[in-house]
Chains A and B, each alone.
Chain A
Amino acid sequence: MSFTNIFDTQKWDETKNAIYNKTSADVEKALLARRRTLADFKALISPAAAPYLEEMAQLSSQITQKRFGKTVQLFAPMYLSNECQNICTYCGFSFNNRIKRKTLTESEILQEVKEVKWQGFDHILLVTGEANHTVHVDYFIKAIQIIKPHFSNISIEVQPLEEEDYGKLKQEGLHSVLVYQETYHQEKYKDYHPKGKKSNFKYRLETPDRIGKAGLHKIGLGVLLGLEDWRTDSFFCAMHLHYLEQTYWQTKFSLSFPRIRPAEGVVPAEQSINDKELVQLICAYRLWNEEVELSMSTRESESFRDNIFKLGITTMSAGSKTNPGGYSVKEESLEQFEISDERTAKQVAEIISSKNYEPVWKDWDRTFQ
């Protein structure tokens, strides 16, 4: 049994139609519900919910405060490698892009650690492409061993691994694994991922199951917003989360909201998600699931980020570099995506404090394996 069994019973077009046929009556029912179901979530992400945005934001803000308090957890991504055997038509690291490839050595990792630590971070996210011959589980084990003495909380966002490998990394002190399905539209997925191990849709779809079975503390899910209809994709993601929560009840979950902007030219403009819609999506997730962590990266603009944490976001990266070695070297030509919010971590923390929220740097301890 894995999520595939549930996924295969769902039809994309039917789901999409159901979302687009939701009415304001459905939205109002969802807003008033004591416990909101996946059907309510459908209503809240539907076009019919757009006029209720302020009401959703108010509710989302209250619910988030109740659970998470007036706090924002900060973390830094650290890119270990941009080597990649996959072709992902939207990604800067794509195999067919002629960029300089780099995988950090042990001493380079240590240099990066110093820089990130110096900014105040205690939670770190390690990121790579997919290059199984060089950036494999033994590489990750080594990286975690180097990083562990310096950070309380380590997450990874790398290629999907086997359950056994996740188990090994957990033993080394890994806390969480982020793996985004990108899109739950199986055929479109094939178009966007024509080559490499990543082109196997089902293997990726079942990755959170393998992470759950290995007993990691947290699993991060997400959709690359803009690859397909964001509403339908997000509904599938919510369904995935719901299944995982019921199956791996000892695991925590987080959701991220990476979006492709129309200017990047890789996706049709009508599928892109605008600011208002992104706020609607964030609030809809919060209204439906009070406990899930909602995470926001520096892809988003300063003004968007400065306002969004009051509406439901609980976790943010800051001062990010998205190229391997980016914190300790000046060269920035190898970025995975362009950073929109370029402020330092300290500046972002000051903004959070100025809005009467507390920036939290440490919320885990190595004691807990």
Chain B
Amino acid sequence: MDKLTIADREFQSRLFLGTGKFGSSAIMEEVVLASCSELVTVALKRVDFEMDTDNLLKHLQHPQINLLPNTSGARNAKEAIFAAQLAREALETDWLKLEIHPDPKYLMPDAIETLKATEELAKLGFKVMPYIHADPVLCKRLEDVGTVAVMPLGSPIGSNKGLRTIDFLEIIIEQSKVPVIIDAGIGSPSDATKAMEIGADAVLVNTAIAVSENPVMMAKAFKMAVKAGRIAFEARLAKVNGAATPSSPLTAFLD
């Protein structure tokens, strides 16, 4: 299996995780370890740097785990940039999952503010991974301003509906010069496999694992599913044929 490179960092695992919604930080830690994920995203708003009541970070202190702070809660570019700077200082990483959703109901990403913030943050030296709609033009615009990856959604966040935006994801993957990580909506291991089969560089999963009856087992299932999908992609899937192949082809007369 090919290694994944984002910015200057190599990843063995193409499964990224979210850390919210777990019944306890201890279970979250077990899940992260079982998944073999090397990149986990943490909401800045959930981290308490003064008190240790939540002790979220303590459970993520393993050498192979890289933290990807996110700006969930930001409603515009200004707030996101401010949060990013705070996260960089507090967590000592310039990696950032940029989330700007002014709509608290469906948490839909704001394309305009996200583009603005990505440009600013890239200039400030951040490795920006923006959460966006599956919008191929936006992806190219983000590339132009220095994004290190794009994270288009498969369906509304937390919905477990799978790859509802697949037609646009395929265009994004075809056109993209930066890694494409499918984020949001992946509800089952088969969704993750599908995402990898169509050529996504990685997937980010949270709800489907955190809310399952057995999160640790589900993490293992996702790990295998992502691997299977990636290997299938590298092996090049046989084409799906809508019609039977005629035994007397139209060009036979040329022989």
Contact = CB atoms under 8 A, between A and B. Distances in A.
Contact of B207 (A69, A356, A363): A69
Contact of A358 (B24, B74, B104): B24
Interface stretch (B60-68, B79-87, B125-133, B146-154): B79-87
A142 interface: no
A65 B211 contact: yes
Interface string A225-254: 000000000000000000001000111100
Nearest to A362: B48
Contacts of B24: 353, 356, 358
Given A70-B22, A356-B24, A368 B45 contact: yes
Contacts, number: 93
B21 A68 contact: yes
Interface string B205-245: 00100110000000000000000000000000000000000
Given A70-B211, A252-B104, A361-B53, A367 B86 contact: yes
Contacts of B23: 69-71, 356-358
Interface string A130-170: 00000000000000000000001000000000000000000
B211 A368 contact: no
Contacts of A368: 45, 73-75, 79, 83
Contacts of A217: 104
B254 interface: no
B136 interface: no
B51 A361 contact: yes
A369 B207 CA distance: 27
Contacts of A68: 21
A52 interface: no
Give the bracket for the number of chain A residues in contact with chain B. Answer: 20 to 34
A356 B213 CA distance: 11
A174 to B, nearest CB: 15
B interface SS class: loop
Interface in B28-67: 43-48, 51, 53-54
Contacts of B45: 152, 362-365, 367-368
A245 B106 CA distance: 11
Nearest to A359: B53
B172 to A, nearest CB: 26
A367 B104 contact: no
A66 interface: yes
A106 B25 CA distance: 37
Contact of A367 (B54, B79, B207): B79
A120 interface: yes
B3 interface: no
Contacts of A300: none
Interface residues of B, number: 34
Contact of B103 (A120, A249, A358): A249
A266 to B, nearest CB: 36
B104 A291 contact: yes
Contacts of B103: 249-250
A209 interface: no
B79 A69 contact: no
A122 interface: yes
B144 to A, nearest CB: 28
B93 interface: no
Contacts of A362: 45-48, 51, 53-54
A360 interface: yes
A251 B207 CA distance: 23
B239 to A, nearest CB: 34
A251 B102 CA distance: 8
A202 interface: no
B160 interface: yes
Contact of B104 (A152, A250, A356): A250
A114 interface: no
B9 interface: no
A154 to B, nearest CB: 14
A65 B215 CA distance: 13
A70 B210 contact: yes
A67 interface: yes
Given A66-B158, A69-B22, A251 B104 contact: yes
Interface of B: 20-25, 27, 43-48, 51, 53-54, 73-75, 79, 82-83, 86, 102-106, 158-160, 207, 210-211
Closest A-B pairs by Cβ, 4 of them: A69-B21, A70-B23, A252-B104, A356-B23
Given A70-B23, A250-B75, 13 more contacts: A69-B23, A120-B53, A122-B51, A122-B53, A356-B24, A360-B46, A360-B54, A363-B46, A364-B45, A364-B73, A365-B44, A367-B45, A368-B45
22 contacts: A69-B207, A70-B210, A71-B21, A71-B22, A249-B103, A251-B104, A291-B105, A353-B24, A356-B23, A358-B24, A362-B45, A363-B45, A363-B46, A364-B73, A365-B45, A365-B83, A367-B45, A367-B79, A367-B82, A368-B79, A368-B83, A369-B79
